[in-house]
Structure 1
Amino acid sequence: MAKIPESTDELTDFILNDILYRLDLDPVDSERLLSYMRDRHEHLFGPHSTYFVLGSYEPPFKYRLDEALDVLNHRHNAYAYLLATQPNLDVSDDIPDLKVKFFLHALYADSIPLILEHDTGGAVAEFGRVERPTLLDRTYLFPRAQDEHYDDDSLLTTQDSILARAVELAYHADDLEEELDVLAERARDHGLDISTQDLESYLESELGGRTPSYSGVITDSLVHLDSLDQCFSWTTTEELEEQLSNVP
């Protein structure tokens, strides 16, 4: 389906044909799904703008989702939320309730910001789902360190810029340890008391010990969203907050 279901019959057809595929939906489960939507009506169909925020729930990445919620909820008449905070579906065990719950919320959100920091976990599955025509027009992707901004020595004059460059190196460097040594030396050249160990500790706190990367499948989709002006790279949390202004 290329358009948002506008009636209960269209919604039921969408669930059966686009989400559940060859699974059957018995009358009890069908009524429970419709009841779920009625219960969420005030939140999803009110006079406010709704923002269905997607991304990794793992620490420390969940911190960025919380920041995005805070930024978007400060808008006038805005309701930004995560899937995890929404009530669960009460359906039969053979129904993929989390998948159905995801689409029920995504279908009726005004905008879907997706914050991407690595290419594993639930956020990647969500990325695949929002590329459907039904959702793509309302999806705004925020990949971390897709682009490099701080590789110019003239920009590396403050502690914040040095730390931002360390994050970019974590994504792009072939030999991260060597590159961090060079970066720490640049910091000292600019009178900043930052060691390689300081940079490693910072990356541990930002990335949770993960070596971040994006697979070729992910980067190919990034190109697609970028061509649609719906992809906005960021490195620091402050940059993410600024980039969220691109979500209508």
Structure 2
Amino acid sequence: MDRIPEETNELTNFILNDVLYGLELDPKDSEQLLSYMRERHEHLFGPHSTYFVLGSYESPFKYRLDAALNVLNYRHDAYAYLLATQPELDVSDAVPALKVKFFLHALYADSIPLILEHDTGGAVAEFGRVERPALLDRTFLFPRARDEHYGDDSLLTTRDAVRARAVELAYHADDLSAALETLAERARENGLELSAEDLDSYLESELGGRTPSYSGVITDSLRHLESLNRCFSWTTREELEAQLSHVP
């Protein structure tokens, strides 16, 4: 399907055919599905703007999801939310409840911001789902450090800028230890008392010990979304909050 279902029967058919690939639902599961849609309709699909925020729930990445929620909920008459905060869909074990729940919300959100910081986990599965035609025109992708904004040494005059450059190096440097040593030297030349160990500790707190990267498959999709003006790189939380202005 390349458009949003407009009424209940059409949505049910979409779930059965495009999400469950023809899996038969027993009468109880069908009733639970309809009941869930009725209960959530007024709350999620009312006159306010709804933002279905996607991304990694792991710490520390969830801190950026929380920041995005705060920014979007600050808007007038807006409701930004995570899938985890929505009621569970009570269906039999034969039905992938989380997958169905995802599509029930994604199909009717006004906008779908996806915060991407690495290429593993549930956020990557969500990335694959939102590339469907019915969802893509409302999806906005925010990959961390896809572009490098702090590569110019003349910018490295504050601790925040040096730390932001360290994050970018974590994504792009072939030899991160050597790159952090060089960055620390530049920082000290600019009068900032920072060591490679300080920067490594900062990366631990920002990235949870993970070595972040984007696979070739992810990178290819990022290029596609960039060409559609749906992909906006960021490095710091403040930059993410500013980039969210691209979400209508």
TM over 0.5, shorter chain = yes
Provide the residue aligned with 2:65 in structure 1: 65
Provide the residue aligned with 1:118 in structure 2: 118
Find the aligned partners of 1:216 and 1:34 in 2 and give their Cα distance. 40
Provide the residue aligned with 1:243 in structure 2: 243
Provide the residue aligned with 2:165 in structure 1: 165
Matches within 5 A, 1:9-24: 9-24=9-24
- Aligned AA for 1:170? A
Structure 1 residue 167: deviation in Å? 0.1
Structure 1 residue 22: deviation in Å? 3.0
- Aligned AA for 1:72? L
Provide the residue aligned with 1:182 in structure 2: 182
Secondary structure of 1:22's counterpart equals coil
Per-residue deviation, residues 178-220 of structure 1 (Å, max 9, x unmatched):
0000000000000001111110000000000000000000000
Calculate the TM-score normalised by the size of structure 1.
0.99
Aligned pairs, number: 248
Give ranges in structure 2 of 5+ residues lacking alignment.
none
Find the aligned partners of 2:193 and 2:171 in 1 and give their Cα distance. 24
Matches within 5 A, 1:21-170: 21-170=21-170
Structure 1 residue 116: deviation in Å? 0.1
Calculate the TM-score normalised by the size of structure 2.
0.99
Structure 1 residue 26: deviation in Å? 1.7
4+ residue runs of structure 1 moved beyond 6 angstroms? none
Give ranges in structure 1 of 5+ residues lacking alignment.
none
Provide the residue aligned with 1:212 in structure 2: 212
Secondary structure of 2:193's counterpart equals coil
Secondary structure of 1:40's counterpart equals helix
Per-residue deviation, residues 24-82 of structure 1 (Å, max 9, x unmatched):
11222111111101110122111100000000000000000000000000000000000
- Aligned AA for 1:129? R
Which piece of structure 1 moves more, 26-35 or 172-181?
Answer: 26-35
Secondary structure of 1:64's counterpart equals helix
- Aligned AA for 2:240? L
Which piece of structure 1 moves more, 35-44 or 49-58?
Answer: 35-44
RMSD after superposition: 0.6
Find the aligned partners of 1:239 and 1:7 in 2 and give their Cα distance. 39
Structure 1 residue 168: deviation in Å? 0.1
Which piece of structure 1 moves more, 20-29 or 125-134?
Answer: 20-29
The percent identity for this pair of structures is 81
- Aligned AA for 1:100? V
- Aligned AA for 1:222? L
